[in-house]
Amino acid sequence: MVRVLCLGYSVTELPGYVERANALAEAEGRPVTFLRSGWGGHSLPSIAALIDEILDALPCDGVLLELFTGNVRYFDGATMRAYLDDILAATARRDLPVAFLNLHQGGVDYAAEPVAGLLAEYRALYGIPYLDIAAPVAAAGAGDITYLLTDATHVTPVGADLYGTLVYSFLRAPPPGRAYIDRFRTLPGRFEAVPLRALPGLTCGFALRRNGIPLDFLEIPEGTRVTVPLGRPRDVIGLLVTYGPQAGTLTVQDPAKGRGHDLVAYDEFSYYTRSMFRSVTLPAARALTIAQSAERPDIALRKGAPDPGPRIGRVSHVVCRRRLSLAQRAARLLHRLRRGLRRLGPRFGLVRGA
């Protein structure tokens, strides 16, 4: 049985195209099954930080990366490439073929937006195929496409059938995206995600299973403070927290240096509980203290009534930037240089096989 991991955001997380693709495979008797790891509300930094944990938890034979809806268009091209390279380095280390899936998102000018060019670039340079559902759905947007979409992004049952049928047709055989592997296998990853459940003295008693991997959260009740030992100096760049009805403001500090950040873990969608990555920059921290405020965020929910009870914070991972050696930094620099030359090569006839 060939296992294809569909890794992406909310369209992948919600029931829809994965079920349709599996139903078609079963109907044809084809030995392929589609697995799911959907990270609704997240973006490239979350996946880049957690990619090794995701792949460890969900063994597969190939990966379909649905990473191009959501907030990716807020990044410039160089930043998108850097995060995508981190993800591809992890799949290459496991010798996994990959393909890209580009889904529709409302409000995007698909004639000019940067993601389409990036997908074409990765196909031309590294042989990574992609299925572009975004452009044809956008082209149909002059008419009534509410039968496909419930909003600007998420699908109706008819839309799920269409997406699943196209995905299955695209991946009826293992995708041919192996050519990239030799160019990414030795690329060092920039991030490590430290699960709090693995640190001494901490009990992570709240479990969340929405993302296809187990997430165990340390709970911090209102008015309390916990210390998270990091074991050695680490360059902290973010936390994986929950947003939800009881969430509020967390204060994250490096106790040795007195530096800290207030983090509001609440938004208009906090009528349900979900994981979120939040940036917190604390270089060379040996420990963190995290405190939960009693303040209730003054943010209107899209539906329902706010929870009047005490606030509770939850943290599952501390995300750190690895301290790369000179050789590792040189490898990443050489990778970017080679890509730049390969991008210019067809234009100027400069490079062959760089």
Model confidence over 264-290: pLDDT tens digits?
999 999 999 999 999 999 999 999 999
* Cβ contacts of 236 within 8 Å, gap of 6 or more: 230, 254, 280, 281, 282, 283, 285, 288, 318, 319, 320
Model confidence over 291-300: pLDDT tens digits?
999 999 999 9
Q: Is 37 helix (H, G, I), strand (E, B) or coil?
A: strand
Antiparallel, parallel or unpaired: β 2-8 and 32-38: parallel
Model confidence over 148-161: pLDDT tens digits?
999 889 999 999 99
Buried b (16+ CB within 10 A) or exposed e, 328-346: beeebeebeeebeebeeee
Position 349 confidence tier, pLDDT thresholds 50, 70, 90? low
Q: What are φ and ψ of residue 186, in 5° steps?
A: -95, 10
What percent of the chain shows pLDDT beyond 70?
96
Model confidence over 174-233: pLDDT tens digits?
677 899 999 999 999 999 999 999 999 999 999 998 888 889 999 999 999 999 999 999
Q: What is the mean pLDDT of residues 126-147?
A: 85
8 A C-beta contact, residue 236 and residue 277: no
Model confidence over 101-127: pLDDT tens digits?
999 988 888 878 889 889 999 999 999
Global pTM value: 0.92
Position 353 confidence tier, pLDDT thresholds 50, 70, 90? very low
Q: Is 239 helix (H, G, I), strand (E, B) or coil?
A: strand
Question: At how many degrees (to 10) do helices 114-126 and 326-348 cross?
Answer: 100
Q: What is the mean pLDDT of residues 89-102?
A: 97
First and final C-alpha spacing in the chain: 36
Residue 218: its pLDDT value, please? Answer: 98
CA dist., res. 42 & res. 274, Å (int): 10
Residue 351: its pLDDT value, please? Answer: 46
CA dist., res. 5 & res. 59, Å (int): 8
Q: What is the mean pLDDT of residues 3-10?
A: 96
- Which helix (H) or strand (E) segment holds residue 207: the answer is strand 206-208
Position 246 confidence tier, pLDDT thresholds 50, 70, 90? very high
Alpha-carbon distances, residue 206 vs 46, 143, 197 (angstroms): 20, 46, 11
Residue 109: its pLDDT value, please? Answer: 83
> Is the model more confident about 69 or about 318?
318
8 A C-beta contact, residue 100 and residue 68: yes
> Is the model more confident about 42 or about 138?
42
Indicate the length of the chain as a whole number.
354
CA dist., res. 192 & res. 170, Å (int): 33
Residue whose entry in the numeric block shows the structure tokens 């990966």: 63
Q: What is the mean pLDDT of residues 245-261?
A: 95
CA dist., res. 327 & res. 116, Å (int): 33
- Which helix (H) or strand (E) segment holds residue 220: the answer is strand 215-221
111 DSSP 8-state letter: T
CA dist., res. 128 & res. 121, Å (int): 9
Q: What is the mean pLDDT of the chain?
A: 92
Position 147 confidence tier, pLDDT thresholds 50, 70, 90? confident
